[in-house]
């Protein structure tokens, strides 16, 4: 008599363990590509002897000295305050304007051309105008963040709410859902993913607006370090600040993502 063959299945990991396993599996390609980029940069920096491309080891050493000595702490506090206020205003106004355009046709007809024009216009060109109106102070730097960040949020919020699944809307209406219930319980949850993508994009652009504002409007914060080391051709320190700004942008995007998801869950 033939014996039955028992195929053993791999053990099913609990939720957190499986999430950690998936995270590690998805992380290694990034770590491999990062190691290759760092190694290539180090080799070229050592062999080419270019002023504009110092070895990566010197850049990371400069970044470590900045962190250990606390050089970045005060400029970072100034920049984060500006960025936080600018992004808070951008998200609130951007979502509100985008939702109004999606739900109220006259608002869309009134604002659509201006939003599209602002999306295609070079935002940095408006900075001198705001300097003339508001001066070189704190409000102008916040406005620089807003004009860079708000329009992707408006456009994505508008597109997300306008493209809500029609079958969900019809089903909710057939059950007698009110206009408010339709928005909060159907349209908003269905469009949240695309809205969140707009907030992520707006946050990344907001960091760009922050640095442009600090370099062009008032030499303060992290932008002041960029100007100082750039003018001195201290390339290892300049690249160290640029790397720190990239890390700051990534952390800020993740933080805004987490806050938005937490607010929706509650």
pLDDT tens track for 132-177: 887 777 788 888 899 999 999 999 999 888 887 677 766 776 766 6
Asked whether residue 63 is assigned to any structural domain, the reply reads no
| Ranges 46-55, 88-97, 177-186, 240-249: which has the least confidence | 177-186
Residue 223 belongs to some domain of the structure = yes
Helix, strand, coil percentages in the chain from 3-state DSSP, rounded to 5: 85, 0, 15
- Nearest-CA neighbor of 256 among 221, 209, 205? 205
Domain with residue 144: its CATH number is 1.10.3720.10
Residue 221 included in any domain = yes
Question: How many domains, the chain?
Answer: 1
Collapsing DSSP to helix, strand or coil, 176 comes out as coil
Report the mean per-residue pLDDT for the chain: 80
Residues 6+ apart with CB under 8 A from 75: 220, 221, 222, 224, 225
**Range picked from 11-25, 113-127, 236-250 for highest mean pLDDT:** 236-250
Provide the domain limits for residue 112.
73-265
CA atoms within 13 A on the CB side of 50: 10
Asked if residue 199 belongs to a domain, the reply is: yes
153 assigned to some structural domain: yes
Torsion-angle region of 176 (φ positive above 0: left; ψ -120 to 50: alpha; else: beta): left
Confirm whether 193 is domain-assigned.
Answer: yes
What value does the mean pLDDT take over residues 24-41?
81
pTM: 0.76
User: Is residue 20's pLDDT more than 70?
Assistant: no
40 domain-assigned: no
Which of the residue ranges 52-61, 85-94, 219-228 would you say has the lowest mean pLDDT?
219-228
Is residue 63 pLDDT above 70, yes or no? Answer: yes
Q: Is residue 172 part of a domain?
A: yes
Residue 7: predicted pLDDT: 47
pLDDT, average across residues 48-52: 80
- C-alpha 155: how far from chain center: 15
Each residue of 219-241: b (16+ CB within 10 Å) or e? ebbbbbbbbebeeeeebbbbbbb
**151 in Cβ contact with 118 (< 8 Å):** yes
C-alpha 190/C-alpha 79 separation (Å) is 34
Tell me the pLDDT band of 263, cut-offs 50, 70 and 90: low
Q: 183, exposed or middle or buried, with CB in 10 Å at 0-12, 13-18, 19+? A: middle
């Amino acid at each position: 008599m033939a014996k039955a063959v028992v195929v053993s299945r791999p053990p099913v990991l609990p939720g957190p363990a499986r999430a950690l396993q998936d995270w590690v599996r998805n992380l290694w390609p990034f770590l491999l590509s990062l190691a290759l980029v760092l190694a290539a940069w180090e080799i070229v920096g050592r062999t080419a002897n270019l002023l504009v491309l110092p070895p990566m080891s010197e850049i990371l050493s400069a970044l470590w000295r900045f962190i250990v000595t606390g050089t970045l702490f005060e400029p970072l506090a100034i920049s984060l305050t500006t960025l936080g206020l600018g992004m808070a205003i951008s998200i609130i106004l951007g979502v509100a304007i985008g939702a109004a355009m999606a739900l109220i046709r006259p608002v869309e007809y009134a604002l659509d051309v201006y939003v599209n024009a602002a999306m295609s216009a070079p935002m940095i060109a408006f900075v001198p105008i705001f300097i003339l109106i508001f001066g070189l102070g704190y409000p102008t730097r916040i406005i620089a963040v807003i004009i860079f960040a708000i329009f992707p949020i408006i456009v994505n919020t508008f597109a997300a709410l306008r493209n809500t699944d029609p079958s969900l809307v019809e089903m909710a209406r057939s059950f007698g859902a009110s206009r408010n219930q339709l928005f909060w319980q159907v349209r908003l949850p269905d469009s949240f993913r695309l809205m969140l993508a707009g907030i992520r994009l707006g946050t990344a652009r907001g960091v760009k607006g922050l640095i442009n504002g600090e370099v062009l409007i008032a030499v303060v914060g992290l932008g002041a370090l960029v100007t100082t080391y750039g003018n001195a051709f201290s390339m290892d320190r300049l690249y160290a600040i640029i790397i720190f700004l990239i890390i700051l942008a990534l952390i800020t995007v993740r933080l805004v993502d987490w806050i938005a998801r937490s607010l929706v869950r509650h």
